[in-house]
Structure 1
Amino acid sequence: MTTLPLEKKTIVLTRNEVKSKEIVEEIVHKGGQAIVLPLIDFRPTQLSNSEIELLSNLEEVNWLVFTSANGVDYFFKIIHKLHIVLHESLNIAVVGTKTKEALHRHGFQPTLLPKEFVAEGLIEVFQQQPIKNKKIIYIRGNLARDLIPKELTSLGAKVHELTVYETFCPTETKELVTLFSNKIDAITFTSPSTVNHFVQLLEGTQWKSWLSGVVVCCIGPITEKAAIRAGLIPTIVPHTYTMNHLIDELISYFQKEGKRV
């Protein structure tokens, strides 16, 4: 009988149930057990009158910039509620395949999509664009980095930041402590916020010893840096910054470790 690649492996996912659904199915399909313990969730922000006015005059805007699927989804909820229609000549830049897919779900194609799924990749692409004096709306969450608006402003663009959602932690310390009473083989972190919430919830406990033998996985270099700063030791950071690629590399890791035994 063929052994499934994740057989007898328990993997903790720190996104919410909805965001984790596809990866849970993949893990189970490959023989593993997935535990969803959300360390991050999102809720809409309240827009100011000036922000609503900005959206009401999108015909004056040259570019929209999205760096997450959440940003796309919350933005479209807002404009639908306000009965605002995007004009076809509006340029849209996105970071990452999941952001692009979210945009597709709302019926739009990105004008720009950098090969590297990080803000730095987008800046590099924009350096080749004539954006001086162009009006750009940067759609973001409350914890997004300031790199994009700063760099685009330095290139001469008129950048307006629009925070459409905020991040919070829906899990309590007791739930996270209970998690470590079980056998865990890997834990995944998908943003600096998931790392920070993990450490904040377990402050004063022996969490570093609890992670002994647990494979720490980070979705990309920004999350990896946050993990290292927090005292974690990441083992898996996929070359392509998606959960599907993270799971693929985790499987490869387990297979190599199995051969060493």
Structure 2
Amino acid sequence: MDRTFIIGTRGSDLALWQANHIAARLEEAGYKTEIKVIKTQGDNILNLRLDKLEGKGFFTKELEEHLLAGDIDLAVHSHKDLPTENPPGLIISAVSEREDPSEVLLILKDCTDTSKKLSVKHNGLVGTSSNRRQSQILSVRPDLEFEDLRGNVITRIQKLRDENYDAIVLAKAGISRLNLDLSEFHIETIEPLAEMIPAPAQGVLAVQIRENDEELDAILKKVVNDEDVAECIGVERKVLNLFQGGCHMPLGSYCKKEDGLFKVWTGKAATAEEFVDRLYVESEKTEGLAEYIVEKFDMEKRKFPKKVFISRELTEHSYFSRALGKHEIEIDARSLIKTVATIHKIDSYIFKHVDWIFFSSKNGIDYFFQLDPILPKHVKFGVVGRGSEDALRSLGKTVDFVGESSDTADVAEEFAAVANGTNVLFPLAKDSLRSIMKGLSPDTVISELIIYETILLDDVDKSFADVLVFTSPSNVEAYFNNNLLEPEQKIVAIGASTGKKLEDIGVTSYILPASPDEIGLAEAVFGIDIEESLN
């Protein structure tokens, strides 16, 4: 074929990388390409926040105009920058594979405090032009302050070097593509779905062409398009479209297909300063999925639970308390167990050959470090979930493995991938389930250290709350020793082992959150509609 395909792109280093990436795919398949740089409104106006610019598509409009005029044959965009509707005459022909959609905090080293979630010092100043990033970070770190940050990736990093901010937020994919040396900063990856839900289609490139260019459309669908990614981001983009929001809306939406299910996380706030509402749903099909998600955020039609019981002590500043308090949901927070130490002294020699110490609970962390253990520098820490990670971080410890699933069998498999064949110490409660141990290989040296005992409280008062949230198997046992479930009460189990305990006593209908932490529990409660429960 003699035709040379002219690729339109913005002129930033990242945009040029993206255009060259698509050009390389085409050239590998035997097609000739040429790159043409075009300036956009977003490139020219740098003194205004993105949400103050007129209209939508301020990083894409000029590219689209050149495409319609026939000056270029295809335009390469960061898909998340595109409006949800194409101008007449244009289509998205292909989407790329999805790169890591994580966010990265670059923090000045003297403004770093690793004992805090996200590692930015108390009251630190964070630079970002994204309302989505600001609302979600504020929800987990309400002490932080924010200022607008504009410019390409290199410009933004230089502003941090110049100490205009204590930290800035960037997309991990962009940093990876540019292969930058960032060793002068503390780098904190904000994993997708934990503290931050990505923007719709984050990490994906979109290739836009003229609707009537059937020849190029066929080539791109064969050479570039990732159908699985297209299916998932189709849900995310439909959510954005139904909310009638552009890329400045404080909205995150992320869909992945796993074990035959579409799993979707959505986070939305009204403003950058508002606490974000988060929802997690699963579905076997995409049809009607976006519509269902958007309906869940219709606050005028929703009927939230009036009262929620949770089997742990909470402060009013905890994530769960603030998430429910936003909707005036009363919380009955009380632990149904008490714990007592079983040892009060420990000899340091037992740690001599230990490679990993794995904690299955915050109680285990508390009782272990009350023993003032003297640990070798090489010891790594693993934890079952985010709550335990926060507990270790508050003690100034670096966490090397964090379980992401509410199913301890999955966590065991993930941990085994990094710890098999090493020496692992488990500080435990007496009568612990030992779920993580069971997933390790025979050549792994496992040591147990029983450091505390769990005691069930007697005569636990019944809760008539609309929702009962159980945070451990022991709390399930303590509650149902004396109480029965009311017919209309909904149950949330923090993890699979807690769910198994519910099943053992005959409670088979319960909700399992996406993650075994307060964010996951808040997502689960947000998804409960009392009117749906009654119908």
Global fold match (TM > 0.5): yes
Q: 2:380 aligns with which of 80, 84, 91?
A: 91
CA distance in 1, matches of 2:406, 2:390: 13
Name the amino acid aligned to 1:148.
I
Partner of 1:137: 425
Relative to structure 2, which stretch is displaced further, 121-130 or 61-70?
121-130
Structure ranking higher in helix proportion: 1
Among 77, 100, 107, which residue is 2:389 paired with? 100
Residue 74 (structure 1) shift: 1.5
1:146 to 434, 443, 446: 434
Question: Shift of residue 107 of structure 1?
Answer: 1.2
Q: 1:113 aligns with which of 402, 418, 425?
A: 402
Q: CA deviation at 1:8?
A: 6.5
Task: Check conservation: 2:409, 2:439, Cα contact below 8 A.
Answer: no
Residue 64 (structure 1) aligned with residue 357 (structure 2): yes
* Greater alpha carbon shift after TM alignment, 122-131 vs 8-17: 122-131
* Structure 2 equivalent of residue 75 of structure 1: 368
* C-alpha displacement of 1:138: 0.8
Per-residue deviation, 1:230: 0.8
Amino acid at match of 1:160: S
CA distance in 1, matches of 2:410, 2:437: 14
CA distance in 2, matches of 1:242, 1:231: 25
TM-score (norm 2): 0.40
Q: Distance in 2 between matches of 1:107 and 1:128?
A: 25
Task: State the Cα distance separating 1:5 from its structure 2 match.
Answer: 6.4
CA offset digits 1:91-130 (Å, max 9, x no partner) = 2222211111111111111222343344323432344347
| Partner SS for 1:110 | coil
Give me the whole-angstrom Cα distance separating, in 1, the residues matched to 2:309 and 2:511: 14
Amino acid of the structure 2 residue aligned with 1:138: F
Distance (Å, rounded) in 1 between the aligned partners of 2:316 and 2:507:
24
1:15 to 312, 316, 325: 312
Q: How does 1:1-261 map to 2 (within 5 A)?
A: 9-17=306-314, 22-46=319-343, 52-53=346-347, 55-79=348-372, 84-129=373-418, 131-132=420-421, 134-152=422-440, 154-173=441-460, 175-176=461-462, 179-180=463-464, 184-202=465-483, 207-208=484-485, 211-254=486-529, 257=532
Name the amino acid aligned to 1:35.
D
Deviation at 1:200, TM superposition (A): 1.4
Distance 1:44 1:188, change over 3 A: same
Q: What secondary structure, in the 3-state scheme, does the structure 2 residue paired with 1:167 have?
A: strand
Structure 1 residue runs without a partner (length 5+): none
Cα 1:188–1:115 change in 2 (3 A) is: closer
Write out per-residue CA displacement over residues 12-37 of structure 1, whole angstroms, 9 at most, x where no aligned residue.
12223569955344323321111234
Structure possessing the higher radius of gyration over alpha carbons: 2
The alpha-carbon distance between structure 1 residues 8 and 236, as it changes in their structure 2 partners (threshold 3 A), is closer
User: Residues 19 and 118 of structure 1: is their aligned pair in 2 closer, same or farther, counting only changes over 3 Å?
Assistant: farther
Name the CA distance, whole Å, in 1 between partners of 2:513 and 2:416. 27
SS in 2 for 1:161: strand
> Which residue identity is paired with 2:490?
V
Cα RMSD (Å) = 3.0
Q: Which has the higher contact order (CA 8 A, sep 6+)?
A: 1
Mind listing any 5+ residue stretches in structure 2 that lack a counterpart?
Answer: 1-298
With structure 1 as the length reference, what TM-score do the two structures score?
0.76
Identity across the alignment (%)? 22
Q: Which amino acid aligns with 1:170?
A: L
User: What residue identity is the alignment partner of 2:481?
Assistant: Q
Quote the Cα distance in structure 2 between the aligned partners of 1:213 and 1:131: 45
Is contact 2:406-2:512 (8 Å) kept?
no
Q: Which sits farther off after the overlay, 10-19 or 90-99?
A: 10-19
The CA deviation at 1:64 is 0.9
